Structure 1
Amino acid sequence: MTTPPRLIDFHSHWGTERGWRGSPYQSAADREALRGYFKWDMGFVGEDEQAAQFRRANARVVLDFAFTHTMDAAALRDQHDYAFDYARSHSDVVLGNWIGIDPTQPGHVRELERCLREGPGLTGLAVHSFTPAGPADQPAWRPCLRLCAEAGRPVLMPVGMSATGAGTRGGMGVTLQDSHPRYVDHVAAAHPDLDVIAARVAWPWQPEMIAIALHKANVWLELHGWSPRYFPGELKHEIAKRLRKRVFFGADYPMLSHERLVQDWRDQGFAPDVLEDVFTGNAESYLASIGVR
Structure 2
Amino acid sequence: MSASPPRLIDFHSHWGTEQGWKGSPYESAEDRQALRGYFKWDMRFVSEEEQAAQFRRANAKVMLDFAFTPKMDVGAVREQHDYAFDFARKYPDVVLGNWIGIDPTRPDHVKELERCLSDGPGLVGLTLNPTTPAGTPDQPEWETCLNLCIEANRPVLIFVGMSATGAGTRGGMGITLESCHPRYVDRVAAKYPDLNVIAARVAWPWQSEMIAISLHKSNVWMELHGWSPRYFSDELKREIGKRLRKRVFFGADYPMLSHERLVDEWREQGFTSDVLDDVFSGNAESFLASIGVE
Instruction: Tell me the TM-score normalized by structure 1.
Output: 0.98
Are 2:31 and 2:169, in contact at CA under 8 Å, matched by a contact in 1? no
Residues 1:279 and 2:284 are matched in the alignment: no
Coordinate RMSD, CA, aligned: 1.0
> Secondary structure of 1:104's match?
coil
Letter in 2 for 1:178: S
| Equivalences for residues 1-293 of structure 1 within 5 A | 1-26=2-27, 30-293=31-294
> Secondary structure of 2:64's match?
strand
Are 2:39 and 2:257, in contact at CA under 8 Å, matched by a contact in 1? no
In 1, distance between residues paired with 2:32 and 2:199?
27
Are 1:14 and 1:63, in contact at CA under 8 Å, matched by a contact in 2? yes
Which ranges of structure 1 fall in alignment gaps of 5 or more residues?
A: none
**Deviation (angstroms), 1:35:** 1.7
Which ranges of structure 2 fall in alignment gaps of 5 or more residues?
A: none
Letter in 1 for 2:262: L
In 2, distance between residues paired with 1:143 and 1:13?
26
**Deviation (angstroms), 1:34:** 2.8
> Secondary structure of 2:243's match?
coil
1:16-43 per-position Cα deviation (integer Å, ceiling 9, x unaligned): 0000011212466642343212211211
Letter in 1 for 2:145: C
The answer to which of 64-73 and 29-38 deviates more is 29-38
In 2, distance between residues paired with 1:254 and 1:107?
30
In 2, distance between residues paired with 1:278 and 1:91?
22
> Secondary structure of 1:192's match?
coil
In 2, distance between residues paired with 1:4 and 1:37?
27
> Secondary structure of 2:284's match?
helix
In 1, distance between residues paired with 2:204 and 2:29?
30
In 2, distance between residues paired with 1:151 and 1:23?
29
In 2, distance between residues paired with 1:236 and 1:230?
10
In 2, distance between residues paired with 1:15 and 1:101?
21
In 2, distance between residues paired with 1:193 and 1:290?
12
The answer to which of 19-28 and 40-49 deviates more is 19-28
Instruction: Tell me the TM-score normalized by structure 2.
Output: 0.98
Are 2:165 and 2:173, in contact at CA under 8 Å, matched by a contact in 1? yes
**Deviation (angstroms), 1:83:** 0.2
Aligned residue pairs, count: 293
**Deviation (angstroms), 1:78:** 0.8
**Deviation (angstroms), 1:2:** 1.8
Are 1:20 and 1:26, in contact at CA under 8 Å, matched by a contact in 2? no
In 2, distance between residues paired with 1:10 and 1:115?
18
Are 2:215 and 2:243, in contact at CA under 8 Å, matched by a contact in 1? yes
Letter in 1 for 2:89: R
> Secondary structure of 1:130's match?
coil
Are 2:35 and 2:41, in contact at CA under 8 Å, matched by a contact in 1? no
Of all paired residues, the percent bearing the same amino acid is 76
The answer to which of 55-64 and 21-30 deviates more is 21-30
> Secondary structure of 1:86's match?
helix
**Deviation (angstroms), 1:132:** 1.2
Runs of 4+, deviation exceeding 4 Å: 26-29
**Deviation (angstroms), 1:221:** 0.2
In 2, distance between residues paired with 1:288 and 1:215?
22
Are 1:240 and 1:274, in contact at CA under 8 Å, matched by a contact in 2? yes
**Deviation (angstroms), 1:131:** 1.1
Are 2:34 and 2:167, in contact at CA under 8 Å, matched by a contact in 1? no
In 2, distance between residues paired with 1:215 and 1:200?
19
> Secondary structure of 1:9's match?
strand
1:204-257 per-position Cα deviation (integer Å, ceiling 9, x unaligned): 000000000000000000000001000011110000000100000000000000
